[in-house]
Amino acid sequence: MRGKKEFPIAEINETSSIIPDHQHPVAPDAPVSARHRHKIVRGVMWSVFLVVLVLVFVLVLRHDEETRKAAAAAAARAKAGITVTSATAQKGDIGVYLEAIGTVTPVYTDWITSQVNGLVVAVHFKEGQLVEKGDPLVDIDPRPYQATLLQAQGALERDENLLAQAEMDLERYRDAWGRKAIAKQILDDQEKLALQDEGTVKNDRGTVQYDQVQVDFCHITAPIAGRVGLRLVDPGNVVQSGGTVTLAVITQVKPITVVFTIPEDSLGQVEAGMRKKASLTVDAFDRTAQTKIASGKLLTLDNQIDTTTGTVKGRSLFDNKNDALFPNQFVNTRLLVNTLQGVTLIPSSAIQQNGQATFVYLIQNNVAHMRSIKPGVTNGGITQVEGVSPGDVVANSSFDKLQDNTAVVVLTKPAPAATNGSTVP
């Protein structure tokens, strides 16, 4: 036909057979290199598709294999039993303790004040120094009081001589009266004059003693052995005898006491323990109640119960040789009131609770059985129980997986027991 370009039939068929419907066909009159590039791109796309398909298939096979292995391992574990650590019930002794918060209280605390008026001339102690009884602390200018003492001593010496003269005259009058040389009235008057001089001498001696005390007050020494606090006065300060200015504070730290409270419901146990033996042991712990600071003895109880708190105060004595206890320090105290002997003990971590029920998993022949128990005293991660016997083996881990009559595998190394404070049931 005129005006139309004819193409060979074979070439048309070849082109239509290799080009997908969704792709634009290459023009018949396109160069041979363009058709060749189109074939290469199509081949690469099919290769990538095949590679992705193979990778997906491999991943699916691997996931199925891992799933089968995990299922097989779970089945093997279920057949072998749940792995647990164990603990063996022991027969032993455990203490019954009362716990309370206590305050470290010195046996003696002295607030040193001045008994005289004057100028501070010397401070002999260092802050925080340990002093012994009688050690010098502060000196106040003694010169005014020494002068007053000297005057009193002079008056005493004068009046003692007057008394001596009166006594000599009395002896002469007595001799004269014996010879009937004087009247009886003269002798009686001389006797009374001698007694008056004797009274004057006693008054002078009292004045001398008082002035000597005032001089002694100028040299302040430690009334007790203990630790001195921070310096409160300096040389050059003027102090008064009214007691408004504290010169130093001394607290006895060896020995030292701890004051704590005891519930009135437990007072009977404490008194019974005090009647059985001379003293009860008291342990002082730090704020976390984990580290023991010192051990002492119960010294005494207060004479009345505080009605607002329902408690009675107790005082315990500690030697405090290592200065572990500090005045006014807060500590946790544990008073040993009794010791249970020959009871069954298990780790507290092995005890489980379900509502009101308390139980353990007793292991027999690699099978865990639920066993109800009655817990008692707890001390240091160990609990006294009733319901199991010494030698029984109980589970101490994997409680989230355990049930009654569950097969278990016991590890040879038991898990360590948890530690906590002691309580009284």
Per-residue HEC secondary structure of 362-397 comes to EEECCEEEEEECEEEEEECCEEEEECCCCCCEEECC
Q: Give domain limits for the chain.
A: 9-65, 82-103+254-425, 108-139+218-251, 142-216
The pLDDT > 70 percentage for the chain reads: 85
> What pLDDT, on the 0 to 100 scale, is given for residue 166?
93
User: Strands 382-386, 393-395: parallel, antiparallel or unpaired by DSSP?
Assistant: unpaired
Q: Residue 348 pLDDT > 80, yes or no?
A: yes
* pLDDT for position 29: 52
- pLDDT tier at 76, thresholds 50, 70, 90: low
State yes or no: pLDDT of 14 exceeds 50. Answer: no
Paired residues of 353 in beta bridges: 358
CA gap 375, 210 in Å, rounded = 71
Q: Which of 64-73, 190-199, 339-348 has the lowest mean pLDDT?
A: 64-73
CATH architecture of the domain covering 142-216:
Orthogonal Bundle (1.10)
Question: Taking 90 as the threshold, does the pLDDT of residue 209 lie above it?
Answer: yes
Q: What is the pLDDT of residue 52?
A: 83
Statement: residue 290 has pLDDT above 60: yes
Q: Which of 90-99, 109-118, 377-386 holds the top average pLDDT?
A: 109-118
**Cβ neighbours for 388, distance < 8 A, ≥ 6 positions apart:** 89, 344, 346, 360, 362, 371, 373, 394
Return the percent helix, strand and coil in the chain, to nearest 5. Answer: 35, 35, 30
Q: Is the pLDDT of residue 230 over 70?
A: yes
Give the pLDDT confidence score for residue 106 in this predicted structure. Answer: 94
The pLDDT of residue 100 is: 93
Q: Report, as an integer, the average pLDDT of 231-250.
A: 90
Q: How confident is the model at residue 278 (pLDDT cuts 50, 70, 90)?
A: low
Residue 310 has pLDDT above 80, yes or no: yes
Q: What is the model's pLDDT at position 59?
A: 83
The pLDDT of residue 395 is above 80 = yes
Instruction: Supply the angle between the helices 143-178 and 184-217 in degrees, to the nearest 10.
Output: 160
pLDDT band for 101, please (50, 70, 90 cuts): very high
Nearest to 292 by CA among 327, 318, 253: 318
* Domain spanning 108-139+218-251, CATH class: mainly beta
| Confidence (pLDDT) at 33 | 64
112 and 262 Cβ atoms separated by less than 8 Å: no
**pLDDT band per the 50, 70, 90 thresholds, residue 16:** very low
Return d(Cα 259, Cα 269) in angstroms, integer: 18
pLDDT at 237 over 70: yes
Region 207-236: what's the mean pLDDT?
A: 95
Task: Determine the average pLDDT of the residues in 177-187.
Answer: 90
Measure the CA–CA gap between 259 and 316, rounded to whole angstroms.
Answer: 7
What are the pLDDT digits (tens) for 121-172?
999 999 999 999 999 999 999 999 999 999 999 999 999 999 999 999 999 9
Q: Look up residue 93 and give its two tokens.
A: 């002794």
Q: Once rounded to an integer, what is the mean pLDDT over residues 108-124?
A: 94
Structure tokens at 56: 């997906």
Taking each continuous run of H as one helix and of E as one strand, the counts in the chain are 5, 23
Mean of pLDDT over the chain: 84
- Measured between alpha carbons, how far is 256 from 309 in angstroms, rounded to an integer? 25
| pLDDT given for residue 73 in this prediction | 58
pLDDT given for residue 42 in this prediction: 78
pLDDT band of 15, cuts 50, 70, 90: very low
- Whether residue 325 contacts residue 293, with contact meaning beta carbons closer than 8 Å, is answered with yes
Q: What is the pLDDT of residue 75?
A: 55
Q: What is the pLDDT of residue 35?
A: 64
Q: Which CATH superfamily is domain 82-103+254-425 in?
A: Efflux pump adaptor protein, beta barrel domain (2.40.30.170)
Mean pLDDT of 215-234: 94
pLDDT digits (tens, 9 = 90+) for 24-52: 444 445 455 666 677 787 778 888 888 88
